[in-house]
């Protein structure tokens, strides 16, 4: 008899299924007309994220339209810095901007209260869980310590190395004690924030390391591996038992070591991860990924070919079908439907 558990959770447990479960990063977003209509009612993006009624609705929109196997709560990775007093705003067409870094000691004093400070996200999760069918899983998430730190440290210093987090990496070399102290605060804050999400109904938690890209191996070990190990250990100390997904984006050459050394239950792979590397990681633990969002935008026969390649390479082991990065705002809905038909999910 088939397991009653959602297929997404079964894949994270290491089961090989008839077809891979599927969800897309940023599946709730601007490519959906229903999202754009609701977003227009809230000019402030952070306020939109912290409105449980609106955030729950946009979380559910792609589930209704596509029937994905998992929903991911609609939120943002920069809610913790904002809760600790750092100014966060979004420039149209340019993304997030942050003000001056708060005192690290003051943030350390607040870390245990991260879940309570962001209780709106918990309410969103509860609303979504109540509305979702039992066979659909619900994912919570947080930005990984280094990724959140890059935004906090960069502030307005965008004049050099834009797109490579150059300012934050310079800090990591020049002021290691300050950066390591900030990472420790973010580990503790993120643990309490993620615990709150699990308590509110999240059945899996994802750690988004969006800026693991371009780090030499010694810096990767210090800024990514060790904080992830600490965060996972702290979550388990706090009694969190749900599966964890680590996403060290842009670090394909180091993905196998990450899979061995970090006690997550699955590793998400990015667009540039070679199929052979993904297969080796898959022998260690379940994987997720890694369709190119630009190919999803392009569609056509090339999209079908790549989906087939991924299915052939990774479909024999535990795998969650996903993108290698977030869905783009101008992706045609028909292309999402094309992928779902190709993998037999629609």
- Is 335 annotated among the ligand-binding residues? no
Residue 100 buriedness (CB in 10 A; 0-12 / 13-18 / 19+): exposed
Largest CA distance in the chain: 59
- Using the Cα atoms of residue 334, residue 340, residue 341 and residue 342 in order, give the sign of their dihedral: positive
Helix (H, G, I), strand (E, B) or coil at 34: helix
Instruction: Respond yes or no: is residue 39 known to be catalytic.
Output: yes
Cα of 6 vs its chain's centroid, Å: 19
- Is 325 annotated among the ligand-binding residues? yes
- Is 154 annotated among the ligand-binding residues? no
Helix (H, G, I), strand (E, B) or coil at 306: helix
Instruction: Respond yes or no: is residue 26 known to be catalytic.
Output: yes
Q: Where are the alpha helices (DSSP H) in the chain?
A: 7-12, 33-39, 45-49, 52-66, 79-83, 104-110, 114-117, 119-131, 145-154, 166-174, 176-199, 217-220, 226-237, 255-261, 275-282, 293-298, 300-314, 333-342
- Is 86 annotated among the ligand-binding residues? no
Say if residues 29 and 159 touch (Cβ distance below 8 Å): no
Instruction: Respond yes or no: is residue 76 known to be catalytic.
Output: yes
Q: Where are the alpha helices (DSSP H) in 74-154?
A: 79-83, 104-110, 114-117, 119-131, 145-154
Residue among 10, 26, 129, 342 flagged as catalytic:
26
Say if residues 270 and 250 touch (Cβ distance below 8 Å): yes
Would you give the DSSP letter of residue 223? I
Instruction: Respond yes or no: is residue 297 known to be catalytic.
Output: no
- Is 30 annotated among the ligand-binding residues? yes
Residue among 5, 13, 19, 39 flagged as catalytic:
39
Instruction: Respond yes or no: is residue 30 known to be catalytic.
Output: yes
- Is 250 annotated among the ligand-binding residues? no
- Is 26 annotated among the ligand-binding residues? yes
- Is 35 annotated among the ligand-binding residues? no
Say if residues 233 and 254 touch (Cβ distance below 8 Å): no
What residues contact residue 291 under an 8 Å CB cut-off, 6+ apart? 271, 306, 307, 310, 321, 322, 323, 324, 339
What residues contact residue 240 under an 8 Å CB cut-off, 6+ apart? 194, 195, 198, 205
Residue 159: other Cβ atoms inside 10 A:
8
Residue among 13, 30, 222, 280 flagged as catalytic:
30
Residue among 151, 171, 193, 258 flagged as catalytic:
151
Angle among Cα 95, 267, 83 to the nearest 5 degrees reads: 40
Residue among 69, 76, 154, 270 flagged as catalytic:
76
Binding-site residues sit at: 26-30, 76, 151, 210, 325
Residues with catalytic roles: 26, 30, 39, 76, 151
Binding-site residues for substrate sit at: 26-30, 76, 151, 210, 325
């Amino acid at each position: 008899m088939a397991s009653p558990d959602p297929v997404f959770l079964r894949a994270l447990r290491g089961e090989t299924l008839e077809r891979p479960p599927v969800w897309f990063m940023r599946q709730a977003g601007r490519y959906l007309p229903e999202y754009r209509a609701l977003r227009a009612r809230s000019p402030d993006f952070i306020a939109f994220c912290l409105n449980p009624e609106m955030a729950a609705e946009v979380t559910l929109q792609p589930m209704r339209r596509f029937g994905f196997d998992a929903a991911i709560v609609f939120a943002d990775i920069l809610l913790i810095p904002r809760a600790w007093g750092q100014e966060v705003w979004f420039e149209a067409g340019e993304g997030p901007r942050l003000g001056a870094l708060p005192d690290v000691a003051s943030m350390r004093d607040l870390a245990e209260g991260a879940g309570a400070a962001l209780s709106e996200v918990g309410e969103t999760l509860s609303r979504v869980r109540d509305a979702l069918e039992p066979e659909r899983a619900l994912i919570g998430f947080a930005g990984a310590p280094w990724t959140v730190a890059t935004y906090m440290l960069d502030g307005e210093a965008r004049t050099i190395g834009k797109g490579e987090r150059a300012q934050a990496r310079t800090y990591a070399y020049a002021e290691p004690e300050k950066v390591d102290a900030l990472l420790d605060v973010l580990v503790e804050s993120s643990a309490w924030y993620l615990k709150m999400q699990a308590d509110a109904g999240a059945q899996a938690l994802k750690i988004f390391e969006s800026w693991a890209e371009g780090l030499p191996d010694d810096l990767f070990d210090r800024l990514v591996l060790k904080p992830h190990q600490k965060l996972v250990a702290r979550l388990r100390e706090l009694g969190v038992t749900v599966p964890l997904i680590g996403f060290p984006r842009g670090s394909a050459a180091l993905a196998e070591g990450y899979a061995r050394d970090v006690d997550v239950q699955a590793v998400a792979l990015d667009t540039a991860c070679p199929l052979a590397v993904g297969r080796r990681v898959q022998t260690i633990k379940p994987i997720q990924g890694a369709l190119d969002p630009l190919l999803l935008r392009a569609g056509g026969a090339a999209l079908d070919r790549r989906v087939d390649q991924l299915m052939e390479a990774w479909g024999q082991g535990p795998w969650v079908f996903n993108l290698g990065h977030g869905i783009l705002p101008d992706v045609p809905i028909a292309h999402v439907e094309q992928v779902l038909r190709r993998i037999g999910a629609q």
